[in-house]
Amino acid sequence: MCMEDGPDFSDVADDEIADALASQFKANDLRKWMAENGLQRERGSNKAESAKQAVDQGREEIAQMLFEENALDVEWDRQCKYHEVCGNTTPGASTDMCDKCLDLVRDNDRSANPVDREQFDDAIDFFEALHERQA
């Protein structure tokens, strides 16, 4: 598949991830969350220290969780799932397809003579047929 699984967090500073984590929780909730996720903290650590300790133990998973919760802003160049056919690099907000591919599917579904999805073993081939039909 052409679309990446997620953003690259390597350029995000650990402190930025820890700050985002700390802002997501109250101190007691952060301690509970860490315990539930198998993350250790030093007794007596304040919220900021606990968040840093959590990031030290599970940086990528925490960054991904924060990104999914819109608590960590990371640039991510996502591509349409069918980028190799359509060339579009920006999928919709609620789907992994770009608007053009989504419109082609909808138009095909409404068509009196639709392209039959069952004729294609690979979805890429189906989208190639849809794009060729439109051209």
pLDDT tens, 60-86? 999 989 988 888 877 666 677 887 888
For residue 11, is pLDDT > 60? yes
Each domain of the chain, given as residue ranges in start order, spans: 14-68, 83-134
CA–CA dist 74, 131 (Å, integer): 32
pTM given for the model: 0.56
Enclosing H/E stretch for 58: helix 47-68
CA atoms within 13 A on the CB side of 117: 6
For residue 4, is pLDDT > 50? no
- Tell me the average pLDDT of the chain: 85
Structure tokens at 79: 């591509």
pLDDT tens, 12-64? 889 999 999 999 999 999 999 999 999 999 999 999 999 999 999 999 999 98
CA–CA dist 60, 47 (Å, integer): 20
- Asked whether 74 and 29 are in contact (CB, 8 A), the reply is no
